[in-house]
């Protein structure tokens, strides 16, 4: 009997491959090679793919690499009109969005890589992208400190002559520095956006009109944010290596006193934290820093309970995938799965071979059934041809033949 699958932590790097870790055992599972991925340049695309932004070291050409979960090398290489960094995909994995250096956002169809639309969202490079909690909006932040959001259906269905401003539902100046991360809380009456910035603040905004509801100021730049499962508390990734925890609702003072709006968790990282992700399956927080360290935190106690064995070096981004959703099952011997066969996971290799053999058996049976079906069809066609010949012969005899037959019968 196979053991239950675990959440999978994936990290990217400017200098090395994408690495997958078992979030429960902490051991590395496999590498996905060939990408030099910048900050925010890693994304899950539905349940089937992993996407990374890539800048070629040899030609400086820009592209997006698309990986499936069974091979260490990229399945597709999507060419884009300019260097892109942040990526985000729709929940169904059909569309991928990439933020460019020009401030434009490009919408691509998956897995074809066709660019469906491009529109100008910011006056400086796009710094972060986020699909809203309900999957309806693409929210973006820029180095110019602005936030914009556009209904996704309008991007996908936009005609080539439609202007960028006509697409946008809202665009406003949010920060004095680059916007580093965005999240959303969708509700019937009070939908909000939470944003972080290099200006050392987290701000909470009304979604419909861009009204600022609250500002929290920190002693350092904030590089990322994560929300707890009930979306009442935020966790902020500090450039000083600390994680800060606070309440989204200004009226709630749980875990904080009246003189402070956040608390600081114990320091484990020696450099800036680039990504925070809440793992819904275990209700733990995962943090990754520039120096290559990854830690899993118990949010109730605020303590780091595990460090992941990362030997790649620097980290540019981190995401967490649900292994069950992707049909992955690393079993009890996860520490033996990593090997040197082109970075493939040995368990997935054996699984693929087994699946291939099963498929071959099915195909052989299907081929035999197809041959039998063709033989039966040919026999049926021959029978119908003979029947048609008899009908035609009877028709050629005409009415006189039929009448003569009747007269003989009467005699």
List, for residues 145-174, the tens digit of each pLDDT value. Answer: 999 999 999 998 877 667 777 788 889 999
What are the C-alpha distances in Å from 295 to residues 40, 192, 202, 302?
18, 29, 23, 12
Cα separation values, 114 from 34, 79, 136, 156, 362, Å: 21, 9, 21, 12, 34
Query: CB–CB of 315/290 below 8 Å?
Result: yes
Please give the Cα distance from 71 to 31 (Å, whole number). 9
Is the CB of residue 163 less than 8 Å from the CB of residue 118? Answer: no
223 in Cβ contact with 273 (< 8 Å): yes
Mean pLDDT rounded to a whole number for the chain: 81
CB 108 within 8 A of CB 64: yes
Instruction: Give yes or no for residue 221 having a pLDDT over 90.
Output: yes
- pLDDT tier at 332 (50, 70, 90 boundaries)? very low
Whole-number Å distance between alpha carbons of 160 and 149: 19
The string of pLDDT tens digits covering residues 222-261 is 999 999 988 889 999 999 999 999 998 854 444 444 447 8
Distance, CA of 244 to chain centre: 26
For domain 7-324+345-351, the CATH architecture is: 7 Propeller (2.130)
For the chain, domain boundaries:
7-324+345-351
| pTM of the predicted protein model | 0.76
Confidence band, pLDDT 50/70/90 cuts, at residue 338? very low
The predicted structure's pLDDT at residue 188: 72
Comparing 396 with 193, which gets the higher pLDDT? Answer: 193
What does the block give as tokens for 217?
Answer: 């100021």
What string of DSSP letters covers 286-312? EEEETTS-EEEEETTTTEEEEEE---S
On whether the CB atoms of residues 86 and 40 are closer than 8 A, the answer is yes
pLDDT at residue 25, rounded to an integer: 84
pLDDT score for 45: 97
Q: What is the pLDDT of residue 300?
A: 86
The pLDDT confidence band at residue 335, using thresholds 50, 70 and 90, is very low
Please tell me what DSSP assigns to residue 335. G
Q: In angstroms, rounded to a whole number, what is the distance separating the alpha carbons of residues 214 and 192?
A: 11
CA distance 44 to 90: 9
- Give kind and range of the element (H or E) at residue 382: helix 346-410
pLDDT digits (tens, 9 = 90+) for 372-391: 667 666 666 767 677 777 77
d(Cα 44, Cα 161) in Å, to the nearest integer?
31
Residue-wise pLDDT for 50-101, tens only, equals 999 998 877 778 899 999 998 999 999 999 999 999 999 999 999 999 999 9
Report how far Cα 73 is from the mean position of its chain's Cα atoms. 17
């Amino acid at each position: 009997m196979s053991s239950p699958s675990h959440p999978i932590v994936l990290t990217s790097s400017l200098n090395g491959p994408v690495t997958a870790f078992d979030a429960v055992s902490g051991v590395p599972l496999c590498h996905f090679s060939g990408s030099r991925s910048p900050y925010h340049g890693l994304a899950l695309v539905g349940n089937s793919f992993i996407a990374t932004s890539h800048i070629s070291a040899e030609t400086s050409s820009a592209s997006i690499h698309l990986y499936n979960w069974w091979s260490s090398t990229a399945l597709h290489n999507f060419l884009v009109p300019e260097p892109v960094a942040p990526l985000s995909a729709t929940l169904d994995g059909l569309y991928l969005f990439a933020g460019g250096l020009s401030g434009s956002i490009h919408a691509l169809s998956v897995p074809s890589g066709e660019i469906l639309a491009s529109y100008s969202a910011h006056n400086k490079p796009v710094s972060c992208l986020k699909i809203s909690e309900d999957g309806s909006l693409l929210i973006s932040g820029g180095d110019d400190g602005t936030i914009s959001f556009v209904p996704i259906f309008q991007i996908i269905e936009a005609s080539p002559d439609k202007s960028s401003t006509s697409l946008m539902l809202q665009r406003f100046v949010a920060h004095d520095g680059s916007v580093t991360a965005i999240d959303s809380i969708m509700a019937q009456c009070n939908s909000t956006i939470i944003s972080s910035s290099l200006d050392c603040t987290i701000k909470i905004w009304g979604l419909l009109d861009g009204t600022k509801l609250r500002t929290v100021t920190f002693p350092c730049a904030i590089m990322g944010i994560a929300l707890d499962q009930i979306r009442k508390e935020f966790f902020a990734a500090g450039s000083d290596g600390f994680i800060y925890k606070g309440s989204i609702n200004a009226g709630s003072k749980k875990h904080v006193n009246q003189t402070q709006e956040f608390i600081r968790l114990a320091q484990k990282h020696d450099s800036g934290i680039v990504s925070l992700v809440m793992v819904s399956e275990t209700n733990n927080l995962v943090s990754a820093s520039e120096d290559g360290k990854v830690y899993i935190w118990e949010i109730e106690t605020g303590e780091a309970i595990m460090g992941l064995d990362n030997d790649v070096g620097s980290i540019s981004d981190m995401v967490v995938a649900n292994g069950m959703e992707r049909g992955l099952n690393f079993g009890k011997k996860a520490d033996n799965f990593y090997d040197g066969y082109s970075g493939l996971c040995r368990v997935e290799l054996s699984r693929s071979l087994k699946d291939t053999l099963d498929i071959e058996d099915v195909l052989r049976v299907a081929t035999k059934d197809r041959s039998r079906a063709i033989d039966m069809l040919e026999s049926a066609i021959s029978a119908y041809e003979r029947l048609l010949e008899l009908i035609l012969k009877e028709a050629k005899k005409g009415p006189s033949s039929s009448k003569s037959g009747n007269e003989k019968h009467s005699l």
